[in-house]
Amino acid sequence: MCGIAGKLYLDGQTPVDPELIQRMTEVIAHRGPDGSGKYVSGSIGLGHRRLAIIDLRPTGAQPMSNEDKTVRIVFNGEIYNYRELREELLAKGHIFTSTTDTEVIIHLYEEYSEDCLSRLRGMFAFAIWDERKKFLFLARDRVGIKPLYYVNTGKALLFASEIKSLLIDPAVRREVNLRAIDRFLTYYYLPGNETLFKDVYKLEPGHYLTVSDGRIIDRKYWDLPVSTSNRWSNIDEAVTELQELLSRTIKDHMISDVPVGVLLSGGVDSTGVLRYAVEHSDEPINTFTVGFSGASFADERTYAKLAADKFRTIHHDLTLTAQDFRDFLPKYVWHMEEPVCEPPAVSLYYVSRLARQTSVKVLLSGEGGDEAFAGYPKYRNLLVLERLKSAFGPAKGLLSTALKTVELFTGKENRHYRNCINSRMEDYYYGLAATPETPFNRRKSSLYTSGFAASLGDYASHQPTRDLFSQVNGSSTLQKMLYVDTKSWLPDDLLVKADKMTMATSVELRVPLLDHQVLEFAASMPSSYKVHGRTIKRVLKLALQESVPDKILTRKKAGFPLPYDRWLKTELRDFVNDTILSQNASLDSYFNKASVRDMLQEQQKNSSDNRNGGKAQHALDYSREVFSLLVLELWHKEFRL
């Protein structure tokens, strides 16, 4: 696990400044505190920061080359089938000087060129420079576990693991992408390849980019399959196959020359990962979780301790306070770089730091289990809703009346799903990516200044969702939802958080449930194997039912709960108001201050009413909106925009 950066002048003549490459890697030293390296030759420069995980010797240093120094690589990630690939390549006559997975990629490229990507199992972002062909090859893993950003200045292509490396070059302008602000307030994250910096892009998951003779070409090499398989006669057969796949996959994800721990939330996914990790470890495993100070907060520690006791781990936990949360927010923005409304990311930072303090450099996580095996309640709810819409046909008005009478869903969800009755899924699903309610989308007309609104033109803020739905026409309702979330919500929100917060503490996070073989296996299953009646994540729970405590399998989904909404209204109220409503706030360029003040007052009034026994529970909750505005303002300050 590392950080990479580089620059290539498109004319093939202009020399790269070695000092620039040095500074591009220094700014991401947190991604690799164990070493650094660079290669600069004429118009190409490659930089690397190393977090030593496999082959801790100097032979694992990067940039790394083949035998005759004609192919060089900088690589961030882990290849879990590298040992098998190494044996194949040795048999073909390739010569190795290390035992790293990095060197395997070099020789695999020599053997198969860009097609080498289909042979790799793992998480990766890398750059290969082929000196003979004057050819640059950038690639990102199938799901987007590891990040890779790039910018074309017109004269040069720059790339890096983090945007802040690109900004080191004076040729890269620090200009705000105005459309991305609107899209962020639509989704609470940024789907697709755009960033909040104009002209800075994400290489999308499952894509690679080549540069040759000044031409830049972006190609897709993998997509999540949506066709189901008929190879199982019943779900029990699928359960047995899944158990074998999970055992094999998690064993591979434990390959390391440094200690491996487990990030334990006490949920089904992380406990399932722990169950198989223990099976393949000769030593007790360190597990880590986080709780929160204050009364009446949801706390994962009870369930995490239950799992830790069951599997006899060396368990660690910590307590996070409102002050801890507030203190880290500027660094949260600096590390995340992209505007993401993901308050639990702060918890992930602190628990990763705890792991690092106990000498654990690698953590396994259950991230991705919900997208692979349909673990969000919205999947079950929307399956019911879409079936009812189909059954009622033209009489959808009666369905709305029926939902008012019968609380098929609970509280706020019931109101929200009624609003979806007369819309196609591709037109309303974007609003479910982060929360059942999206107040921003109802308030934009009053929130935006006239100038900012005019700058957006006819820009369709939720077009990414429509585009993804169009790629899976004819698939089942559940397949569509899982496909869209795996291609947007997962890489552009959850995995951004997972990578940036753990790497901020120099810890590598591995996500075995997002191994592409696990994803493809889950995608091939009939929908009923994943959602059946009120049961979600059905096949995974069946696979774990004999080894995971029933209290964990049947608990209500919680994720990594964080009481940020209450903190924003109470302990952090003054900080929020002083930041968002300051006289020189950057937000004033986009939003009407009076409308923003009204939103804050309504949010804080709701808190007061609740404490006094009022009826504010029926009012809209603006916690996500307030946090999003707070993040946006801090982002401008941190990056001096």
Q: From CA 117, how far away is CA 221, in angstroms rounded?
A: 8
d(CA 244, CA 270): 17
Question: What gap in Å lies between CA 49 and CA 32, rounded to an integer?
Answer: 4
Give the whole-angstrom CA distance, residue 504 versus residue 512: 21
Tell me the C-alpha distance between 102 and 62, whole Å: 9
Q: Cis peptide before 259, with omega less than 30 degrees from 0?
A: no
Which of 97, 138, 105, 137 has the alpha carbon at shortest distance from 121? 105
Query: Can you tell me the distance from the alpha carbon of 628 to that of 550, in angstroms, rounded to the nearest whole number?
Result: 37
Select from 311, 309, 298, 300 the least CA-distant residue to 265: 300
Determine the 3-state secondary structure of 385 from DSSP. helix
Q: Which residues pair with 215 in a beta bridge?
A: 212
Residue 344, judged by CB atoms within 10 A of its CB (0-12, 13-18, 19+), counts as middle
Cβ atoms of residues 140 and 206 within 8 Å: yes
Question: Within 13 A of 6's CA, how many CA atoms are on the CB side?
Answer: 33
- CB contact at 8 A, 640 and 174: yes
Phi-psi region of 166 (alpha: psi -120 to 50; beta: other; left: phi over 0): alpha
Tokens read off for 131: 């000196």
Instruction: Assess whether 2 carries a catalytic annotation.
Output: yes
- Angle at which helices 623-638 and 178-187 cross, to 10°: 150
Which residues does 265 contact at the CB level (< 8 Å), separation at least 6? 289, 300, 303, 304, 366, 558, 559, 560
Residue 371 parent element (H or E): helix 369-373
Phi, psi at residue 77, to the nearest 5°? 140, -165
Measuring CA to CA, how many Å separate 121 from each of 239, 405, 517?
A: 23, 51, 8
Distance CA 118, CA 140 (A): 12
CA Rg value for the chain: 25
Write the single-letter amino acid at 99: T
Task: Give me the active site residues, please.
Answer: 2
